């Protein structure tokens, strides 16, 4: 086997071209193909399965029993071959029988073979077959061999399609049900929107895979790269929302990918193997997609999405097919639908027409989410299979605030939506009118209303909604959107900008909460670090920061220097025992002493706090509270830990109830302990942003809530309407009496007094 993927693939392609040029039947050609691949990879078995009438049929083989050809059939998803076809993914196993999806077929005589590698034969985004190899000795196939198989599979797709051997043609993308459908997803950027469905981009269908002139193909790619980079430079330079902020860092990272020499080199190597420019780009992307499926880290996966976005752009340029919906122009108010989007692609759209975005993938820290937030475009992500349920031009109503998506609504639904939108706008105007009014209950009790933030732009919300400060600034966002570890000076500049925007209002900085499901691609695992099956309760947040204390020392210095002349509020996440808090506090104090010894300007005071997220901490609050300046309860993690219920799990959604007596009694105990020690206590989870749940928290004696900016208005209106003393008395009776229907009782209490909730 040649030592490089290009040489290996080129050797096979040269022989395949001779086979394809021969005047023989398609079956004879496939029989010859499996012989060539088996010999080239020194593999005892090489087989080709094709999709016919929705079933995978063994079409040609070297090494398995010939009588199994056209006899062995598997359903999509059945066995390893069916798994590859269904998921359109590559498998490489040293022991095939050990895989949970292995399906033994005795008629093939495959029982003596151990190793297995298979790649999908793809046409128009779906598998039309599978090419696989097997070996007697248990071994994983080398990367050079897998890449050679992927190259061959691309050429086979063209041969199979031309010979009409497999089911072909695009899948029926029209929804099976053309009536009204409601979908849900992941709330990425809040807001409401009405518009007609527009698909982001058609795929470029590659018709010719084998190059006639390698140098001509290379020249086409070089030209396409130059044009693509020019487009990216122009778009990133023309972004209309300022030059500072995380969205700008996102675009710079995206731009860095466009100029990545490694990516260029891999495409050139694919051309060297004998592929056309289009096929070379697609071959490299197939490899990227394969790696994306193996990545559990959502942040690294987001960066892979950026590379996918760039590859699609490059493919359109090199093929002369430049037709994204943005370039065609939006003709009416539109809701954009895509599997995923790169940040620059979103910038291409007419912001007057683009009303919302629906993604099949996406995450809160994805680059496109950050840019959409800066643009003010609502986004709903993780809407499963939405591209197959919507037709171009369908009317869509989006209410991301309620996690609701209505496809093809009835006239009554549309009218109700418009009424809600009108009421929402009217209520928003009412909330805006009370922006400068204090959040004081009807019986004169002050409740601090602060906002959660994580981006530089979020500080602007303080003035927009009249908040009392930032009760939770998530410092990890800067780490998540950066391509490399942010330098201390860059961290300091962000913190200072946020403090300056807040003016005299407090900002509570939570130290970096990374690890678990928020791993950083540029932070290498140490020897001994293990894969975590349950990252939410793993090596994350303060645990990781104390272990990697160099990161925390740099952040502490950045926070201290940024707060010069002001009061610094610093909060440690995921504290489970007092010693963790003490160790973190000592680390910050040591940095303060160092700065003082070097005559640096310092904060006039440092207030230290901890987050109550781990239930164990509640059992030792009497030991911790004397050392605390404040306590914040993080209801999101706390609730799932208390109930052992993942809030993302659909079957456990009903158990994740913030108004259950178990949660309220737990919170009541923690609040009483804080009051006894005269330590201010607040809530900085989603619970405080819902008016009914916020009522419950006030009834427990909590007087500081940190919530989303959009929740400040509704919660303030509720606060100004209630009598806190009466509410506390009612709640005490419910808790002591063991009421199991506190949600209903709270709702009734509010209704009796004419208090609007929402």
Q: What is the 3-state secondary structure (H, E, C) of 46-99?
A: EEEEEEECCEEEEEEEECCCHHHCCCCEEECCCHHHHHHHHHCCCEEECCHHHC
User: For position 385, what pLDDT does the model report?
Assistant: 77
User: Phi/psi at 55 (nearest 5 deg)?
Assistant: -125, 145
Q: For residue 212, is it left (φ>0), alpha (ψ between -120 and 50) or beta? A: alpha
User: For position 176, what pLDDT does the model report?
Assistant: 42
In three-state secondary structure terms, 269 is: helix
Contacts of residues 445-449 at CB distance under 8 Å and 24 or more positions apart, as own/partner, are 445/703, 445/724, 445/725, 446/703, 447/698, 447/703, 447/704, 447/705, 447/719, 448/682, 448/703, 448/704, 448/705, 449/705, 449/707, 449/712, 449/715, 449/716, 449/719
Among residues 232, 234, 287, 236, which one has the least CA distance to residue 260? 232
Among residues 262, 703, 189, which one has the least CA distance to residue 445? 703
CB 228 within 8 A of CB 206: no
Q: Residue 340, Cβ neighbours under 10 Å: how many?
A: 21
User: For position 17, what pLDDT does the model report?
Assistant: 74
From residue 446, how far is each of 217, 583, 630, 670, 701 by CA, in Å?
A: 70, 34, 17, 20, 11
Report the distance separating Cα 221 and Cα 237, nearest Å: 24
**Torsion angle in degrees (nearest 10) through CA of 721, 723, 728, 729:** -130
> To which H or E segment does residue 114 belong?
none
Strand 704-707 and strand 115-123: pairing?
unpaired
User: For position 122, what pLDDT does the model report?
Assistant: 84
From residue 249, how far is each of 456, 480, 483, 555 by CA, in Å?
A: 12, 11, 9, 19
Among residues 356, 68, 418, which one has the least CA distance to residue 185? 356
Report the distance separating Cα 31 and Cα 29, nearest Å: 5
DSSP code for 566: S
Cβ neighbours of residue 222 under 8 Å, at least 6 residues apart?
A: none
User: For position 170, what pLDDT does the model report?
Assistant: 42
User: Phi/psi at 443 (nearest 5 deg)?
Assistant: -100, 20
Mean pLDDT of successive 10-residue stretches along the chain, which has 758 residues: 57 76 83 88 89 90 92 90 87 88 85 88 82 89 83 82 68 50 85 88 69 87 86 66 55 70 82 84 75 55 66 80 66 87 76 89 72 81 82 89 87 85 74 86 96 81 89 81 73 92 94 61 49 51 71 91 96 90 93 94 96 93 95 88 66 68 95 96 88 95 90 91 96 93 93 85
């Amino acid at each position: 086997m040649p030592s490089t993927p290009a040489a290996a693939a080129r050797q096979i392609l040269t022989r395949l071209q001779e086979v394809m040029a021969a005047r023989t039947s398609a079956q004879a050609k496939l029989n010859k193909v499996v012989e060539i691949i088996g010999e080239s990879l020194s593999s005892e078995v090489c087989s080709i399965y094709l999709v016919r009438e929705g079933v995978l049929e063994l079409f040609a083989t070297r090494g398995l029993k010939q009588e199994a050809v056209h006899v062995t059939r598997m359903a999509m998803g059945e066995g390893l071959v069916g798994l590859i076809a269904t998921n359109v993914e590559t498998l490489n196993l040293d022991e095939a029988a050990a895989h949970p999806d292995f399906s033994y077929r005795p008629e093939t005589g495959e029982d003596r073979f151990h190793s297995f590698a298979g790649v999908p034969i793809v046409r128009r985004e779906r598998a039309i077959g599978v090419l696989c190899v097997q070996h007697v000795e248990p071994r994983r196939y080398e990367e050079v061999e897998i890449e050679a198989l992927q190259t061959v599979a691309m050429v086979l797709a063209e041969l199979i399609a031309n010979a009409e051997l497999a089911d072909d043609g695009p899948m029926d993308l029209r929804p099976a049900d053309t009536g009204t459908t409601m979908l849900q997803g992941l709330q990425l950027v809040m807001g409401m929107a009405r518009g007609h469905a527009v698909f982001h981009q058609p795929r470029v269908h590659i018709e010719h895979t084998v190059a006639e002139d390698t140098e001509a193909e290379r020249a086409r790619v070089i030209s396409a790269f130059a044009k693509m980079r020019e487009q990216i430079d122009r778009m990133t330079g023309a972004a209309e929302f300022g030059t500072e902020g995380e969205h700008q860092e996102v675009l710079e990272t995206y731009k860095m990918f466009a100029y990545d020499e490694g990516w260029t080199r891999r495409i050139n190597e694919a051309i060297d193997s004998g592929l056309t420019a289009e096929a070379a780009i697609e071959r490299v992307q197939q490899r990227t997609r394969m790696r994306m499926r193996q990545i559990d880290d959502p942040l690294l996966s987001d960066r892979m999405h950026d590379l996918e976005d760039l590859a699609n752009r490059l493919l359109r340029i090199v093929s002369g097919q430049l037709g994204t919906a943005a370039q065609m122009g939006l003709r009416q108010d539109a809701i954009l639908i895509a599997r995923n989007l790169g940040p620059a692609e979103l910038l291409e759209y007419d912001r007057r027409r683009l009303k919302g975005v629906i993604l099949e993938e996406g995450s809160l820290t994805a680059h496109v989410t950050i840019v959409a937030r800066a643009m003010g475009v609502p986004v709903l992500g993780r809407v499963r299979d939405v591209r197959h349920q919507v037709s171009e031009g369908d009317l869509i109503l989006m209410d991301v605030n309620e996690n609701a998506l209505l496809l093809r609504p009835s006239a009554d639904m549309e009218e109700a939506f418009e009424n809600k939108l009108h009421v929402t706008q009217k209520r928003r105007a009412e909330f805006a009118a009370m922006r400068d009014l204090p959040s004081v209950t009807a019986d004169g009790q002050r409740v601090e209303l602060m906002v959660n933030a994580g981006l530089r732009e979020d500080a602007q919300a303080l003035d927009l909604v009249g908040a009392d400060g930032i009760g939770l600034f998530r410092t990890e966002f800067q780490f998540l959107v950066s391509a490399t570890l942010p330098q201390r000076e860059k961290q300091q500049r962000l913190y200072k900008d946020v403090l300056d925007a807040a003016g005299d209002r407090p900002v509570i900085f939570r130290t970096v909460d990374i690890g678990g499901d928020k791993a950083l691609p540029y932070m290498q695992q140490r020897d001994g670090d293990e894969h975590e099956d349950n990252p939410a309760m793993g090596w994350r947040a303060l645990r990781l920061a104390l272990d990697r204390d160099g990161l925390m020392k740099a952040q502490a210095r950045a926070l201290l220097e940024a707060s010069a002349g002001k009061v610094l509020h610093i909060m440690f996440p995921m504290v489970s025992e007092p010693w963790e808090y003490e160790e973190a506090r000592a680390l910050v104090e040591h940095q303060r002493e160092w700065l003082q010894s070097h005559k640096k300007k310092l904060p006039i005071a440092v207030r230290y706090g901890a987050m109550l997220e781990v239930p164990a901490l509640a059992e030792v609050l009497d030991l911790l509270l004397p050392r605390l300046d404040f306590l914040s309860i993080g209801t999101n993690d706390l609730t799932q830990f208390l109930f052992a219920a993942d809030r993302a799990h659909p079957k456990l959604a009903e158990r994740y109830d913030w108004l259950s007596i178990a949660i309220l009694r737990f919170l009541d105990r923690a609040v009483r302990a804080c009051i006894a020690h005269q330590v201010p206590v607040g809530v900085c989870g989603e619970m405080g942003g819902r008016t009914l749940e916020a009522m419950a928290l006030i009834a427990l004696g909590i007087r500081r809530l940190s919530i989303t900016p959009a929740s400040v208005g509704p919660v303030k209106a509720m606060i100004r309407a209630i009598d806190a003393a009466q509410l506390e008395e009612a709640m005490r009776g419910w808790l002591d009496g063991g009421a199991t229907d506190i949600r209903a009782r709270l709702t009734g209490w509010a209704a009796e007094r004419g208090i609007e909730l929402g």
